[in-house]
Amino acid sequence: MSASHAEGKNYLNCEKGLWSWLTTLDHKRIGIMYMITVMVFFAVGGTFAMLIRGELYSAGRNIVGPETYNQFMTFHGAIMVFMVIIPGIPAFLGNFFLPMHLGAKDVAFPRVNLLSWYCLIVGAAISLVSLIYNGVDTGWTFYTPYSIETNNGTTWMVAGAFVMGFSSILTGLNFIVTTHKLRAPGMTFFNMPLFVWALYSTAVLQVLATPVLGITLMLLIAERVLGVGIFDPTLGGDPVLFQHFFWFYSHPAVYIMILPAMGIVSEIITAFSRKVIFGYKAIAFSSVGIAVVSFFVWGHHMFTSGQSEAAGILFSFITMLVGVPTAIKVFNWVATLYKGSVRFDSPMLFALGFLFLFTIGGVTGIMLATAGLDIHFHDTYFVVAHFHYVMVGGTLMAIMGGFYYWLPKMFGRMYNEFWARITFVLIFVGFNVTFFPQFILGAMGMPRRYYDYLPEFQSLNRISSFGAWTIGTGFLIALFVIIHSIRRGEKATSNPWGAKTLEWTTSSPPPHENFLETPVVTGGPYEFR
């Protein structure tokens, strides 16, 4: 396959006009539409984060009152979870590269793929309606009974999240079928890149966990509209049942967010150390293992909710088990560097940054999994810091790394390496400055979702605010780097990094059907010999 085919014809310019995008069935174009959508939502959710840190800059009122602050905190959480991190990797990078990694022409159900994008958009629009009805101040977890009695905007936000759930289900369904049925000749399961393994595990979670969120949110809407009483203690219901239902989805959802990130890191580390991945099967199976175990750990969010001691101990034990496959992955990535040939381009910097931050996120996860310790840490800033280390330090770093890594393939142009490295430094340093102090705040006992705090928490909160604004600056510059490279970047060759997976064998940007001839696979994805 050569890059010289049909000069100038690729998936970007084969059809023109907005309508051709809105009705496209090409997985690559749908991926790009997800990219734009997620970037817009990220900007909105990020703005809320900046405002939150502005309000917490010092004790007492700074810029807004408590009701408004609670809305900021809710919108930040809900947007970042449902509209940025969950669709972020699978629906954007996954959509674009899963079929290419398999040597397929498209995903199995292109129409369903487009439908999933519209579900996200419609869901987001319904969520926005909540603003007309006094907004939402429940936090993204919508805990009952508070979510039953508060502002009417909640109904709309919950309905929006319900619709967005379908987007996630449809993406997952498509990926599973594609992986099973559309692999190129010779592409056995163990010849698949690890990104595919990660997306496959994620897809299983999306398909099996999201419907439970769907029914939970539907019950919450019924509770608000009809007063059905299932979660309402005054009508004989049980508010803690909501938490069980909610976390049965939302704990696997955490892995929906992090597993694909791990996949990206596997790709980048091999490509930039030009070395076969260490322990391919261990990494592949650990993705599946994490996915399976993640269905049985939801109770660790509820150690203080009043569940029985036996349940607490059981959930603590199973949660510890998740630590093992996670540790395996980290060690294998480090071992891959050994005797490699390492280049420090921005994607690699983000991948190494991921390893650094994710390790910290992981060990603090063990602290939280320890039932006895979690009693004190639960619902404090310690938890906030922990999941930001995993979700931002992990997932967002991986998205950024993946974005730079695949930008030449997606748009056929290179980015500016110098400025990309600047964004890495700002985001990485800013991140640690923001969230490390929050571990200490949590240990000191500052609860989360606090509009106001005791004076002794002020200095650390201030450091955290400065860090957040540094991250904000970093992402702003990243936006310019990306836009500049898409418009003005140097032309990219078909394989600028010398990577071995299939997407690099076709031209940049790829043609409409990805490959001119269906590739025939004869070996593993990382055969650097």
Partner 1 sequence: MSSGNEIIVGGHKVAHHFDSAEQEFEASKLGIWLFLCTEILMFGGLFVGYVIFHNIYPEMFAEGAKHLDWRLGSLNTVVLLLSSFTMVLSIYYAQTNQQKKTSNMLLITFLCGLVFMVIKAFEYYHKFHLGLYPGSYFSYEHAEHANLAMYFSFYFLMTGLHGTHVLVGMFLIAWLWIRSRRKEFNKDYYTPLEVVGLFWHLVDIIWIYLFPLLYLVG
Partner 2 sequence: MIWLNTAAAHASTFMPPQGTEIASQYDKLYGFIVIASLISCVLVIGGLVMFALKYKRKSENDKTAYITHDTRLEFAWSFIPFLIFMVVFVWGTYIYLELRTVPKNAFEVHVFGQKWNWDFMYKSGKKSTNEMVVPVNTPIKLIITSRDVLHSFYIPAFRVKQDAVPGRYTKLWFNADKVGDFQVFCAEYCGTNHSRMLAKVKVVSKDDFEKWLQDNPYKDLASADVGQKVYNAKCIACHQLVPEASTSIAPSFLGLFGKTRQFADSTSAQADENYIRESILNSKAKIVKRVSGEAFPPIMPAFAGALSEEELVGLIEYLKTLKE
Give residues in contact with partner 1 (CB under 8 A).
Answer: 14, 99, 104-110, 112, 169, 173-174, 176-177, 180-182, 207-212, 214-216, 218-219, 222-223, 226-230, 235-238, 241, 245, 512-513, 518
Binder of partner 2 out of 222, 366, 477, 479 (CB under 8 A): 366
Structure tokens at 361: 């996120």
Which CB atom, from 25 or from 463, has the smaller least distance to partner 2?
A: 463
Helix axes 309-337 and 239-273, enclosed angle (nearest 10): 10
| CB 327 to partner 2: min, Å | 4
Amino acid sitting at position 254 = V
Neighbours of 491 (CB within 10 A): 9
| CB 225 to partner 1: min, Å | 8
Which CB atom, from 264 or from 355, has the smaller least distance to partner 2?
A: 355
SS3 413: strand
Q: What is the 3-state secondary structure (H, E, C) of 104-141?
A: CCCCCCHHHHHHHHHHHHHHHHHHHHCCCCCCCCCCCC
The answer to whether residue 228 forms part of the interface with partner 2 (CB under 8 A) is: no
Contacting partner 2 within 479-508 (CB under 8 A): none
Partner whose binding site includes residue 173, from partner 1, partner 2, none (CB under 5 to 8 Å by kind): partner 1
SS3 303: coil
Binder of partner 2 out of 454, 476, 483, 520 (CB under 8 A): 454
Rounded Cα gap, residues 195 and 173, in angstroms: 17
Partner whose binding site includes residue 106, from partner 2, partner 1, none (CB under 5 to 8 Å by kind): partner 1
SS3 491: strand
Rounded Cα gap, residues 262 and 198, in angstroms: 7
Which CB atom, from 242 or from 411, has the smaller least distance to partner 2?
A: 242
Q: Which residue has the tokens 């608000």?
A: 224
Are 505 and 520 in contact by the 8 Å Cβ rule? The answer is: no
**417 contacts: CB under 8 Å, gap ≥ 6:** 345, 346
Partner whose binding site includes residue 522, from partner 2, partner 1, none (CB under 5 to 8 Å by kind): none
| CB 47 to partner 2: min, Å | 22
Rounded Cα gap, residues 169 and 123, in angstroms: 13
Which CB atom, from 379 or from 513, has the smaller least distance to partner 1?
A: 513
The pattern of x and - marking residues 331 through 360 that bind partner 2 according to CB under 8 A reads xx-xx-xxxxxxxx-------x--xx--xx
The answer to whether residue 459 forms part of the interface with partner 2 (CB under 8 A) is: no
Rounded Cα gap, residues 490 and 19, in angstroms: 29
The answer to whether residue 22 forms part of the interface with partner 2 (CB under 8 A) is: no
Rounded Cα gap, residues 302 and 299, in angstroms: 5
| CB 187 to partner 1: min, Å | 13
Rounded Cα gap, residues 51 and 63, in angstroms: 8
Which CB atom, from 76 or from 378, has the smaller least distance to partner 2?
A: 378
Write out the H or E segment, with its range, that includes residue 55: helix 27-55
Amino acid sitting at position 435 = F
Q: Which residue has the tokens 């950024």?
A: 400
Contacting partner 2 within 133-192 (CB under 8 A): 137-139, 143, 145-146, 149-151
The answer to whether residue 450 forms part of the interface with partner 2 (CB under 8 A) is: yes
* Backbone conformation region of residue 23, classed left if phi is above 0, alpha if psi is from -120 to 50, else beta: alpha
Contacting partner 2 within 49-68 (CB under 8 A): 65-67
Helix axes 239-273 and 194-226, enclosed angle (nearest 10): 160
Partner whose binding site includes residue 288, from partner 1, partner 2, none (CB under 5 to 8 Å by kind): none
Partner whose binding site includes residue 330, from partner 2, partner 1, none (CB under 5 to 8 Å by kind): partner 2
Which CB atom, from 28 or from 76, has the smaller least distance to partner 2?
A: 76
The answer to whether residue 417 forms part of the interface with partner 2 (CB under 8 A) is: no
DSSP 497: T
| CB 211 to partner 1: min, Å | 4
| CB 206 to partner 1: min, Å | 9
| CB 105 to partner 1: min, Å | 4
Partner whose binding site includes residue 382, from partner 1, partner 2, none (CB under 5 to 8 Å by kind): none
